[in-house]
């Protein structure tokens, strides 16, 4: 049981890493039509700045999601089975959104065409907005509880997941990710877009304080336990700190505090679920940590693997962020140098085309 609780905590930490890191990715993607200003060329350049702020790290950030899912499968197979079967539709929509978003990131600069770039931008935005909402809906249902039968099978149906509390959770993660992304852009850019991101973050910080604060109090009063009031207080203090530090131009502190609010949210969510992995709705059948856990031998092997490999992963990802720590501005964006649609069509239909230089593929 001690190892099962340990892995419950580890999975909470993995989700913390995912929501903090992928959270600003989603925020940047959602702001791609909000922050850029000026002529068509200037807006395109600023959108490329936004893409480049997360370009080196977005796919590494998604590893946290894969690891969280894999750890759940290995440590709590019954939790994994119940969760992924009961939440099949929203999780499938999230997966499709992440695939579309990833493809758009990778191929946006491969073709030098305004229409192609515009379609990729819409794909990035749709692939950011949808998960930002649905993750909050999913976690909101885990806090509230779901309808399980005696065999721990979900019997509530898809529409039961779209209850007011879960939808409010979706709005909460949406606003928190938007704020996190705006603060990240202010931290990672320079010039006009940096100041614009700070102004947007100022409004979002107040909205996040109201929306996230209201949902957290609702969750605490209706579904949680006494000690998680501390998480609510920390989240509120962090969001107030974002308002203050962002107004003073302290982007580093603002980003740290917005990350702290997300950490506190995960503590509230998993603290509300404990000692269950899927609480039952209205006191119904619940799936507990002990019932969902793998054998002690499996958990022991997983623990040793985690002890040796986790420092390596953390070191590598920290090194990546250190290497790409510099601020970006429109001055760092070169002229577009991708393939044109004509070259693509000529190559597809077997016509002779000029040799493609390596720079065409950047």
pLDDT at position 335, please?
66
pLDDT at position 95, please?
94
**Beta carbons within 8 Å of 45's beta carbon, 6+ residues apart:** 330, 333
User: Residue 146's beta-bridge partner residues?
Assistant: 280
**Beta carbons within 8 Å of 109's beta carbon, 6+ residues apart:** 48, 336, 338, 362
Range of the structural domain that residue 160 is part of:
2-361
The DSSP call for residue 108 is G
Helix (H) or strand (E) holding 287: strand 287-288
Are 209 and 236 in contact by the 8 Å Cβ rule? The answer is yes
pLDDT in tens, 310-352: 898 889 889 989 988 888 887 777 766 555 555 555 545 555 4
Q: Please state, rounded to an integer, the average pLDDT across all residues of the chain.
A: 88
pLDDT in tens, 75-117: 999 999 999 888 999 999 999 999 999 999 888 888 877 888 8
Tell me the mean pLDDT in the region 250-265.
95
Task: Please choose, from the candidates 303, 275, 314, 307, the residue with its C-alpha nearest in 3D space to the C-alpha of residue 291.
Answer: 275
The share of the chain scoring above pLDDT 90, in percent, equals: 60
Are 10 and 113 in contact by the 8 Å Cβ rule? The answer is no
User: Residue 111's beta-bridge partner residues?
Assistant: 339
Backbone dihedral region for residue 163 (phi beyond 0: left; psi -120 to 50: alpha; all else: beta): beta
Looking at residue 334, which CATH number applies to its domain? 1.20.1630.10
Count: domains in the chain: 1
pLDDT at position 38, please?
83
Are 18 and 68 in contact by the 8 Å Cβ rule? The answer is yes
pLDDT in tens, 51-82: 999 988 888 899 899 999 999 999 999 999 99
Rounded-to-integer distance, Cα 219 and Cα 270, Å: 12
């Amino acid at each position: 049981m001690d190892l099962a609780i340990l892995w419950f905590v580890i999975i909470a930490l993995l989700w913390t890493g995912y929501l903090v890191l992928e959270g600003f990715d989603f925020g940047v993607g959602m702001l791609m039509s909000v922050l850029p200003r000026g002529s068509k060329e200037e807006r395109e350049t600023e959108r490329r700045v936004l893409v480049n702020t997360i370009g080196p790290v977005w796919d590494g950030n998604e590893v946290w999601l894969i690891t969280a899912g894999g750890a759940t499968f290995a440590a709590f197979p019954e939790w994994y089975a119940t969760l992924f079967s009961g939440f099949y539709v929203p999780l499938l929509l999230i997966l499709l959104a992440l695939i579309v978003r990833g493809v758009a990131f990778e191929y946006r600069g491969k073709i030098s065409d305004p229409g192609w770039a515009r379609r990729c931008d819409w794909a990035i935005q749709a692939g950011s907005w949808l998960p930002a909402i649905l993750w909050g809906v999913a976690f909101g249902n885990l806090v509230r509880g779901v309808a399980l039968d005696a065999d721990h099978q979900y019997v509530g149906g898809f529409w039961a997941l779209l209850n007011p509390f879960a939808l409010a959770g979706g709005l909460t993660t949406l606003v928190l990710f938007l704020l996190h992304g705006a603060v990240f852009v202010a931290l990672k850019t320079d010039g006009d877009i940096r100041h614009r991101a700070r102004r947007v973050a100022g409004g979002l910080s107040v909205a996040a304080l109201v929306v996230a604060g209201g949902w957290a109090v609702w969750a605490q009063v209706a579904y949680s336990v006494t000690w998680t009031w501390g998480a609510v207080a920390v989240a509120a203090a962090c969001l107030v700190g974002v308002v203050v530090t962002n107004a003073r131009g302290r982007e580093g502190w603002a980003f740290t505090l917005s990350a702290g609010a997300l950490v506190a949210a995960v503590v509230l969510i998993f603290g509300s679920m404990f000692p269950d992995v899927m609480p039952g709705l209205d006191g119904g059948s619940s799936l507990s940590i002990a019932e969902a856990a793998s054998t002690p031998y499996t958990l022991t092997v997983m623990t040793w693997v985690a002890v040796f490999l986790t420092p390596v992963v953390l070191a590598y990802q920290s090194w990546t962020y250190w290497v790409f720590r510099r601020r970006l501005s429109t001055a760092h964006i070169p002229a577009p140098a991708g393939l044109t649609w004509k070259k693509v069509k000529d190559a597809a239909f077997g016509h002779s085309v000029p040799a493609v230089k390596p720079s065409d593929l950047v």
